[in-house]
Amino acid sequence: MFYTVNQVTTYLRESFESDILLSDLYVSGEISNLRRSASGHAYFTLKDDSALLNCVMFRGQQGSDVLEDGAAVSTHGRISFYEPRGSTDFIVDLVMPEGAGALSLEFEKLRTQLELEGLFDESRKRPLPEFPKVIGVVTSVSGAVLHDITTVVTRRYPLVDILVSPTLVQGDAAPENIVQAINDLNVDGRSDVIVVARGGGSLEELWAFNDEKVARSIYGSKIPVVSAIGHETDFTISDFVADLRAPTPSAAAEIIVPDVINLKRHLYGLESQMNNIMDSNLESIRAGIEIINGDLIRALPDIELFRRSIDDLSREHDTFFQYMINMLNVRVDSADKQLATLNPTATLKRGFTIVEDQYGSVVRSFNGVREGEIYSLVFADGLSQVQSADKKL
């Protein structure tokens, strides 16, 4: 019984692809015979002192810029059997300069994978609450991290409660622990934001935060997550997945809560703004009243004018009155003069006399005179008794 070539090569390919070890392989070696195709794939061999491996790196894989003839590299990939050529190939999906170590490779691999899945997409980063009321902290209760965070929060913004969800932060059990702690906070639901924090340490010590389960748990958290792992220079997968990466735990606290000093300044600003607005509003109301009041005053009848016309009238009246009086005086004077001319005394003064009989009646005619009668001669300055002697014509 003969197998066909195709049957054999298919069997080989399937064997390679189902082999757990061969399908997830870390290999280090030196690059030689590097060729790049127009389509962007790279072909090369990895070799050491005694053997070589044909390698293919398809376009768009992590680290293809590191490829260079003679370069010592660490790689990750899977073994496959390429049937058309009957060749066994190492399909490389990650290349790093040698010395990076297995952890770095693993890190890059997971990072690439999760990035492709969209776990790091900017579009899914959620904004942090401006004024959190409760901060959930996932960290170790034994380290300085919790103390650092609470110190900063107390100083900046004492209006929050801190919910601590304790966890191991290193060792084999840490990833499960961290996942549980994040989950607890999500179940509890009170936190407005979660800080996943750990102090500085070696790559190995920080490794739990490069765990895929931890990354997915951060990704799945309903509450926004800030990661603060190690020092400023340390980057973990958790940092990439989190809604925000803080360089350190203390920095995370500063980022999460507003600063009470700034808030007070802001409050003071709002207060004075409010006062200014009220002042200027009242001022403009006052100015408005002033204008209306002016209009009102202008609209009033002119009392002065009245007063002046009254004065004028009164003066005219006086003048007229005076004129009347003068006229009357003139008339009285002339009457007086008339009277004076009628006054007999004046006539008497000119030398005339009036003759009165003994009964006081004026004797106006010669016929009234009787002989022997006593008569009074009235002079201007006195009387004289005379007796009529005889009558002659």
Tell the smallest beta-carbon distance from residue 150 to other proteins (Å): 6
CA distance linking residue 9 with residue 284, whole number of Å: 94
Residue nearer to other proteins on the CB measure, 173 or 277 = 277
Question: What is residue 128's three-state secondary structure?
Answer: coil
Residue 262, SS3? Answer: helix
Q: How far apart are CA 62 and CA 4, in angstroms?
A: 38
Q: How far is the CB of 162 from other proteins (least distance, A)?
A: 5
Percentage helix, strand, coil, to 5, in the chain?
45, 20, 30
Residue 161 Cβ vs other proteins, minimum distance, rounded to whole Å? 4
Check: CB of residue 379 under 8 Å from CB of residue 352: no
Identity of the residue, 78 or 155, whose beta carbon is nearer to other proteins in the bound complex: 155
Distances (CA, A) of 359 to 107, 355, 389: 171, 11, 19
- Minimum separation from the CB atom of position 130 to other proteins (A): 7
For the bound state, the minimum distance from the C-beta of residue 252 to other proteins, rounded and expressed in Å, comes to: 16
* Pairwise CA distance, residues 293 & 298, whole Å: 9
Residue 277 beta carbon to other proteins: minimum distance, rounded to whole angstroms: 4
Both tokens of residue 64? 């293809």
Nearest to other proteins of 60, 269 (CB atom)? 269
Name the residues that contact other proteins, by CB under 8 A. Answer: 130-131, 133, 136, 141, 150, 153-154, 158-166, 184-185, 188, 260, 263-264, 267, 270-271, 273-274, 277-278, 281, 285
93-131: burial string, b at 16+ Cβ within 10 Å, e else: bbbbeeebeeebbbbbbbbbbbeeeebbeeeeeeebbee
* Closest to other proteins by CB, 8 or 164: 164
Question: Nearer to other proteins by C-beta: 11 or 131?
Answer: 131
Residue 104 or 180 having the CB closest to other proteins: 180
